[in-house]
Homo-oligomer: A and B are copies of this chain.
Amino acid sequence: MPVKRWHAELAWLGGDTVAEQVLLEVEADRFLRVTPGSQPPADAVRLPGLTIPGLVNAHSHAFHRALRGHTHYGAGDFWAWRRQMYAVADQLRPDSYLALARAVYAEMALAGITTVGEFHYLHHAPGGVGYDDANAMGVALVAAAAEAGIRISLLDTCYLQADVEGSALSGPQLRFGDGDVAGWAARVAGLPAAARGIAPMTARVGAAIHSVRAVPADGLAEVSAVATGLAGPLHLHLSEQPAENAACLAATGRTPAALCAEHGVLGGRTTAVHATHLSAADVCLLGSSATAVCLCPTTERDLADGIGPSAALRAAGSALCLGSDSHAAIDLLEEARAVELDERLASLRRGTHPASVLLTAATAGGADALGWPEAGRLVPGALADFATIRMDSVRTAGADPGTAMAMATFAAGAADVTNVVVGGLTIVSDGESRRLHQVGRALAEAIRPLWS
């Protein structure tokens, strides 16, 4: 089998420093050797700048990209925003969702993202009628990722009721429902084979609980068991909003984290998304159970969610990962620095989360949370997913080997990503997608009909 070679001027191999002159040798879709201090062989693709493991976007709702720029008129809160989001959700069909998600995942690829976790609850046709292929919408998402060239963990999301009191779904929410947990599980059972059929090497299936609002307490353990059966990750939205906590406490006498703990939802293969409004006891429950936490700071800024206890969660034992969630921005480097910068705003201290912690969250942390533990690292045997950030743009100029990691984390952005490889295949070079031409136009064409 031929060995492909790339030669990185600088590469982050983990820890607090970067290596220079790193030869990356790839056989099939994995790293064969990773060798710092190497001269570049004649056949190697040269990668000026800093090469890092491919970024992992651990929390995405692909269709929210259509909302970018459209929700900033008038005042309002999360719940007002949600009404607009539902109006867009109501428009989508398998073909239009494929077109939109393909463009969104291509935007992710351009930002250096090589794996996405898609938190998918738009299962059925409007009104809740099933498509002929009950997984037509999920299949569209898997196909979209394959066409854009990135890996996907499709986190099929159980969404059964409108609130923690068990009110029935109605209106746009009808599309999300499967009746009961058994109905959801029966549909999901068909997904792994469908995903393998489309993208055998780059798609995996996991499960999600939308939130403690959307799944009755006595169904939480059953969803968790399905995730175990899939050998996939389990994700859930947790304590994004104070109102969610208040409703859960009123209905169950428990915080969402405590309710989840009681029903066996927490643990090392579980990721709590947001985890913004937590009590000290909640932090202990998440940390002591090794539940991962997915922070989505640009969304948390956009939706006025607040600043979560990222430092306390890390100290308690939760691994961190990152998501662009509502896609107000698709820029994992911005997400990474926002964790530290928003912590600075809250604590008035610098340096709580060093660059190595933030980049780990953006790479290995996300890979672990999405069920790709063999990704997110530049080591022999790992999946050959990597992204290169230029260090000669106006944003990044001034870095040296000792500061390139911090420059990438605190100053670079999606526009500085030049080259992206997934499983040994180049999907972005010279800052252009090699899978989808004119990604901006593709986005515009997919979004325009949703607002007309």
Footprint of B on A, CB under 8 Å?
65-66, 68-70, 72-78, 80-81, 106-107, 110, 242, 300-307, 328-330, 341-342, 344-345, 347-352, 354-355, 392-400, 403-404, 406-407, 409-411, 413-415, 439-441, 443-444, 447-448, 451
A439 touches B72 (CB 8 A): no
B73 contacts A443, CB within 8 Å?
A: no
CB distance A81 to B392 under 8 Å? no
User: If A398-B65, A398-B66, A406-B70 touch, does A411 touch B328 (CB 8 Å cutoff)?
Assistant: yes
Q: How far is the CA of A341 from the CA of B329 in the complex (A)?
A: 13
Chain B residues in 8 Å Cβ range of A448? 398, 400
Q: Which of B76, B80, B354 is close to A72, meaning CB atoms less than 8 Å apart?
A: B354
A242 to B349, CA, bound (A): 12
With A69-B399, A441-B392 as given contacts, are A348 and B304 in contact (CB-CB < 8 Å)? yes
Q: How far is the CA of A332 from the CA of B90 in the complex (A)?
A: 35
B441 touches A397 (CB 8 A): yes
Question: Is A443 in contact with B397, judged by CB distance below 8 angstroms?
Answer: yes
Q: Is the CB of B306 within 8 A of A351?
A: no
Task: Give the Cβ gap from A390 to chain B, nearest Cβ, in Å.
Answer: 8
Q: How close is A62's CB to chain B, nearest CB, in angstroms?
A: 13
A301-B342, A304-B350, A406-B69 given; A330·B443 CB < 8 A: no
Complex CA–CA separation, A344 to B447 (angstroms): 26
A-B residue pairs, 9 tightest by C-beta: A69-B407, A75-B351, A415-B415, A304-B344, A397-B443, A398-B447, A301-B341, A72-B406, A397-B440
CA A411 to CA B330, docked complex, whole Å: 10
Are B348 and A305 closer than 8 Å at their CB atoms? yes
| Interchain CB contact (< 8 A) of A75 among B73, B349, B395, B407 | B349
Residues of B within 8 A of A106 (CB): 394
Whether the pair B80, A350 counts as a contact (CB closer than 8 A) is yes
Chain B residues, CB < 8 A from A407: 68-69
Interface centre among A76, A392, A398, A413 (most CB of B within 10 A): A398
Cα separation A406 to B69 with both chains bound (whole Å): 5
A77 and B350 form a contact (CB under 8 A)? yes
How far is B68's CA from A404's CA once the two chains are assembled, in angstroms? 11
Q: List 21 A-B contacts (CB under 8 A).
A: A66-B398, A68-B398, A69-B407, A70-B403, A70-B406, A72-B355, A72-B406, A74-B351, A75-B350, A76-B349, A81-B350, A301-B341, A306-B345, A342-B345, A345-B345, A392-B440, A392-B441, A392-B444, A395-B415, A397-B440, A400-B448
Contact A69 B396 (CB under 8 A): yes
Q: How far is the CB of A191 from chain B (nearest CB, A)?
A: 29
Complex: A303 Cα to B340 Cα, angstroms: 11
Closest Cβ of chain B to A316, distance in Å, is 19
Are A303 and B443 also in contact (CB < 8 A) when A107-B394, A330-B394, A345-B345 are?
Answer: no
Which residues does chain B contribute within 8 Å of A355, judged by CB atoms?
72
Across the interface, name the chain B residue whose C-beta is closest to A442: B397
Q: Collect the chain B residues with CB atoms within 8 Å of residue A65's CB.
A: 398
Closest B-chain residue to A358, C-beta based? B72
Chain B nearest CB, measured from A7 CB (Å)? 21
A242 to B70, CA, bound (A): 38
A393 engages B306 (CB within 8 Å) = no
On chain B, the residues within 8 Å of A303 by CB distance are 344, 350
A242 / chain B contacts, CB cutoff of 8 Å: 348
Complex: A345 Cα to B303 Cα, angstroms: 9
Distance between A3 CB and nearest chain B CB, rounded to angstroms: 33
Closest to A398 in B: B447
Residue in B329, B341, B348, B397 whose beta carbon sits within 8 Å of that of A411 in the complex: B329
B residues within 8 A CB of A400?
Answer: 448, 451
Q: Find out whether the CB atom of A350 lies under 8 angstroms from the CB atom of B415.
A: no
Please give, as numbers and ranges, the residues of chain B lying within 8 Å of A397 by CB-CB distance.
Answer: 439-441, 443-444, 447
A414 to B75, CA, bound (A): 27
CB distance from A147 to the nearest CB of B (A): 16
Residues of chain B with a CB closer than 8 A to A409's CB: 72
A392 and B307 alpha carbons, distance in the complex (Å): 32
State the Cβ distance, A322 to closest chain B Cβ, in Å.
17
Give complex CA distance A73, B107 in Å. Answer: 31
